[in-house]
């Protein structure tokens, strides 16, 4: 079976012009992820876990290597794909879940959550209905649905963000500490949703501060700490 994602020799560093210097984030990373597989990234702070996720999503530009993704349109190298193709893939096949909501002034929680479906061509009523279902599932109180999340507490914003990010299935899902500071109800809902998506074949790469939250989902652990063998078959999650 061809892996959904085949990362080969991926390298990323940053140049900081005002300091006149650069630094490496990670160097020559290679691994693959199959459909329905959940890969946990581990490593100390600064090992490049989040940087790797952002590079795969192309918020960061890689410096070398290839990221071969099996899209619905055939294989494409995410490291070199045109911006417009990346935009398309983000709307259809590749999702990114963080703990931070990008709220917009005067846009209600339910409209914000429904937006990915609207962009995918789902009719307004249908999209809103699904949005409300997910807001409910993640434990956002009903009276907040038509309110503007700009004023919500951090925890409530995070739930809105999860509902938005997970409202539609993706072929590849990148997870950057989505459980941090979530209450128990929302965490359980998140783990359930991830578990369902995994069963449907979504490939996932995640960074979790407390991996025990997703313990039973993890198939493989990859350690990004330099000078440590990259892959470790999962025996038992000792992170």
Sites of contact with another protein (CB under 8 A): 14-18, 54, 58-64, 71, 73-74, 76-77, 79-89, 104-107, 115, 118-119
| Residue 129 or 234 with smaller CB distance to another protein | 129
| Residue 76 or 131 with smaller CB distance to another protein | 76
Cα–Cα distance, 51 to 69 (Å, whole number):
18
Minimum Å gap between C-beta 20 and another protein is: 10
| Residue 106 or 199 with smaller CB distance to another protein | 106
Q: What is the CA angle 79-82-87, rounded to 5? A: 95
| Residue 105 or 229 with smaller CB distance to another protein | 105
Cα–Cα distance, 212 to 136 (Å, whole number):
24
Residues 6 or more apart whose CB falls under 8 angstroms from that of 231 comprise: 31, 220, 222
**Cα dihedral value 39, 44, 47, 52, nearest 10:** 30
Minimum Å gap between C-beta 230 and another protein is: 22
Minimum Å gap between C-beta 210 and another protein is: 25
Q: In sequence order, what DSSP letters do the residues of 57-68 get, joined into one string?
A: HTSS--SEEEEE
Minimum Å gap between C-beta 105 and another protein is: 3
Minimum Å gap between C-beta 49 and another protein is: 16
Straight-line distance from the first to the last Cα atom of the chain, in angstroms, rounded to the nearest whole number: 29
- Where residue 134 falls (left for φ over 0; alpha for ψ -120 to 50; beta otherwise) is alpha
Q: Which of 104, 108, 102 is nearest to 132 (CA)?
A: 108
| Residue 58 or 159 with smaller CB distance to another protein | 58
Minimum Å gap between C-beta 87 and another protein is: 6
| Residue 58 or 187 with smaller CB distance to another protein | 58
């Amino acid at each position: 079976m061809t892996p959904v994602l085949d990362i080969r020799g991926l390298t990323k560093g940053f140049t900081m012009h005002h300091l006149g210097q650069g630094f490496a984030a990670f160097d020559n990373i290679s691994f693959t992820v199959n459909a329905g597989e959940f890969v946990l990234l581990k490593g100390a702070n600064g090992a490049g876990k989040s940087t790797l996720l952002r590079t795969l999503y192309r918020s960061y530009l890689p410096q070398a290597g290839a990221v071969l993704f099996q899209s619905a349109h055939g294989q494409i190298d995410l490291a070199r794909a045109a911006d417009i193709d990346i935009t398309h893939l983000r709307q259809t096949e590749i999702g990114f879940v963080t703990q931070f909501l990008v709220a917009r002034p005067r846009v209600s929680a339910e409209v914000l959550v429904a937006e990915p479906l609207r962009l995918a061509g789902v009719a307004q009523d249908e999209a809103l209905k699904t949005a409300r279902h997910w807001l409910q599932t993640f434990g956002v109180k009903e009276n907040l649905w038509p309110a503007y999340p700009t004023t919500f507490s951090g925890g409530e914003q995070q739930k809105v963000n999860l509902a938005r990010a997970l409202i539609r299935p993706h072929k590849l899902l990148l997870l950057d500490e989505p459980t941090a500071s979530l209450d128990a109800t929302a965490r359980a809902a998140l783990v359930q949703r991830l578990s369902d998506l995994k069963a449907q074949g979504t490939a996932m790469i995640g960074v979790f501060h407390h991996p025990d939250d997703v313990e039973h989902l993890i198939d493989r652990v990859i350690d990004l700490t330099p000078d440590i063998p990259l892959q470790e078959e999962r025996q038992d999650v000792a992170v």
